[in-house]
Structure 1
Amino acid sequence: MTQQSSGFGPDLVEVFGPSQQDGGPELIQLLTPEGERVHHPEFDRDFSAEELRGFYRDMVLTRRIDTEATALQRHGELGIWAQLLGQEAAQIGAGRALRPQDYVFPTYREHGVAWCKGVDPLRLLGLFRGVDQGGWEPDAHNFALYTIVIGAQTLHATGYAMGMQRDGVVGTGDPDRDAAVIAHFGDGASSQGDVNEAFIFAASYNAPVVFFCQNNQWAISEPIERQTRIPLYQRALGFGFPGVRVDGNDVLATYAVTQAALQRARDGQGPTFVEAYTYRMGAHTTTDDPTRYRLSDDVESWKLKDPIARLEVYLRRNGLVENDFLATIQAEADELGHTLREGCKAMPDPAPLSMFDHVYAEMTPELQAQRDGFATYLESFEGSAAGGHH
């Protein structure tokens, strides 16, 4: 197998230097908002028709998961939901660049990455419904549990990546063995101490980790210009590893850049910071009202850069899809929506005592005492059995 260039050469600063600001002319892009295929000297690659149709399908179905979950929350079936509207390309591009042995550390919004790693969307809904404490087996998908503490997963990812080094699965030259870690976080999280500490450890130990920042312009209600004086990707150079900015609404470019960064990590060349420049077209979560702090004109301008629409234009223009294909995807999305609605409503409430079952591999005395005390409390209700419902 011929090894592809990582795309990160010695002229890194020249290629990704200070001119690459504000989504400007040096933004890494392979598909324009108008659906025109363009080329990049460092990150260009060919995509088969099957790959392109696969990206389209993934993004459409991921958006449907998001819209159905939002509707379920509005109907009182979920306590809250973190929307990803507009960020589908950033997530699908990054998710499809992974190999099976690569490990993902998400935040709470990586529904598209979870889809790519084979996590059942209903498991995601269970978290936000409050009936599942993260019960999927992470190692079954190489996808860690959702992280609510802002930025904490970057430290988890770095530690896991350092463990991979010690397990001898980095830099061996075996494509089926060498592995990398990717940590997802947002622009707001980049201001957290945990994230910067993760950068220090990853750089110091040359850890095989990709820091993937979805810069959606808003840390809840705080705009990006109040968080940083320079483009986020340039921060990486201060820690001693490369940073790049990619059009996060371009699934092709996101895939190519993430693939190169992951391969660099697998080869033992250390961490990379990928800033996916995108926009949160929806709310931060379903408890948020973005009309209170941002202009509708900004949202409308970003709608013209919609990641799904631009790929559909390209597919149609080049005769790579027909109406039958698009109709089939829409029917699949409708079926997925039905499955999510019915599956969510059918989720049973957990037995109260089950919250103690999977905290530690072995029950600690302190936890056992808490469990016993709660069991006694439950038994105090007439007709209640320990662990049952009341």
Structure 2
Amino acid sequence: MFQVLNEKGEIVNKDAMPDLSDEQLKELMTRMVYTRVLDQRSIALNRQGRLGFYAPTAGQEASQLGSHYALDKEDYILPGYRDVPQLIWHGLPLYQAFLFSRGHFHGNQMPEGVNALSPQIIIGAQYVQAAGVALGLKKRGKKNVAITYTGDGGTSQGDFYEGMNFAAAYKANAIFIVQNNGFAISVPRDKQTAAKTLAQKAVAAGIEGIQVDGMDVLAVYAATKHARERAINGEGPTLIETLTYRYGPHTMAGDDPTRYRTSDLDSEWEKKDPLVRFRTFLENKNLWSEEEENKVIEKAKAEIKDAIKQADKYPKQKVTDLISNMFETLPTNLEEQMEEYKEKESK
């Protein structure tokens, strides 16, 4: 397992320490703290009935944001449904992220200049899509990559293998990340596959694979930066397995992790918390303080409050919106339904 910082926030791999300035290190911490607050508030909003579908992210901040920080603004992100934080830091307005959770079509409309697809709900399907986007970038001569994410459960899907194989065959500009949080909803990783690691599945596709400490933001950043350089230099895709943990349920739609995870396991991973580890590292370098962290927390709370108000004010989605967004030219049956619902909505 590739690691830069251990659980005590100590550098254990000096040669792999990424070349980041003090300000960049602080920015990484800022993004992780902000995202942890966003997760806490999103869970609360979901319980209040003010959000719809939501997949908690606490515990996976280093994996998500460390990998994203290694990207260029022109790179493409093909996220899974837990990967909304990467979209936000890539430029998706926060209120649109909330609309996505509510199922509103505007939440899936990426603003101009935000190179990303909307979060994929079908497990693993984003791997096939990423292979296509990556090949398109290569054929157009772009020095950019398509990065995609799935969980350990996604590696049990056919799309996972097909996407990697296709991208590998064409040496497409792709980075495949598996965020191994130990459970595909409730199924432990060791019951999904006989492979000792998920990173080694790269061997079958003929690409480079690496297993990374997913609670170490510097290790994830370094591994992703290396993978990006390989891709844009024509060396093909990389599979990165980040060993991480989600502290909350799989989603807020009724999952109860106490039925399949022990309190001892939760306690073990809490000691590896990516925020605690990186905070200790920065404090030892006199780069972070409780005062600075509180400023980030208050800023996050204020921006989240404004964003949910903006989402509340956004025009409600209508049935006619759904129908009109499905086809360029409506088939006869939907033309009939469109007229029917136009009449209903006019009353």
> Smaller-chain TM-score range?
over 0.9
In structure 2, the residue matched to 1:373 is: 336
Counterparts of 1:7-22 in structure 2, within 5 Å, are none
Is 1:218 the counterpart of 2:183 in the alignment?
yes
- Aligned equivalent of 1:140, options 113, 117, 120: 113
Larger Rg: 1
CA RMSD between the two structures: 1.8
- Is 1:186 the counterpart of 2:151 in the alignment? yes
Judged with a 3 Å threshold, the aligned counterparts in structure 2 of structure 1 residues 347 and 67 are, in CA distance, closer, same or farther, namely farther
Taking the aligned partners of 2:258 and 2:214, their CA distance within structure 1 comes to: 23
Alignment of 1:84 onto 2:60: no
Q: Unpaired runs of 5+ in structure 1?
A: 1-26, 170-177
Counterpart residue number, 1:28 = 2
Is contact 1:62–1:111 with CA below 8 Å preserved after alignment?
no
Kept in 2, the 8 Å contact 1:72–1:341? The answer is no
Q: Which has the higher helix share?
A: 2
Contact 2:81 2:119 in 1 (8 A): yes
TM (normalized to structure 1)? 0.84
Secondary structure at the residue paired with 1:283? coil
Residue 238 of structure 1 pairs with residue 178 of structure 2: no
Deviation for aligned residue 1:100: 1.7
Give the percent of matched residue pairs that are identical in Structure 1 and Structure 2.
35
Match for residue 69 of structure 1?
A: 42
Extract structure 1 runs of 4+ deviating beyond 4 A: none
Cα distance in 2, alignment partners of residues 318 and 206 from structure 1 = 41
Show the 5 A alignment for 1:1-390.
27-39=1-13, 41=15, 43-132=16-105, 134-137=107-110, 140-169=113-142, 178-229=143-194, 230-287=196-253, 288-360=255-327, 363-366=328-331, 369-378=332-341, 381=344, 384-385=345-346
> Alpha-carbon deviation of 1:183?
1.1
- Report the count of equivalent residues: 345
Quick one: distance in 1 between partners of 2:59 and 2:68? 16
Decide which moves more: 192-201 or 323-332.
323-332
Amino acid at match of 1:199: M
Deviation at residue 378 of structure 1 after TM alignment: 2.5
The answer (yes or no) to whether the contact 2:94–2:304 under 8 Å persists in 1 is no
Unaligned ranges ≥5, structure 2: none
* 1:139 CA displacement: 5.6
Please give the TM-score of this superposition, normalised by the length of structure 2: 0.94
* C-alpha deviation, 1:263, in angstroms: 1.0
Residues 51-93 of structure 1: CA deviation (Å, up to 9, x unaligned): 1110111011111221111111111112221111100010100
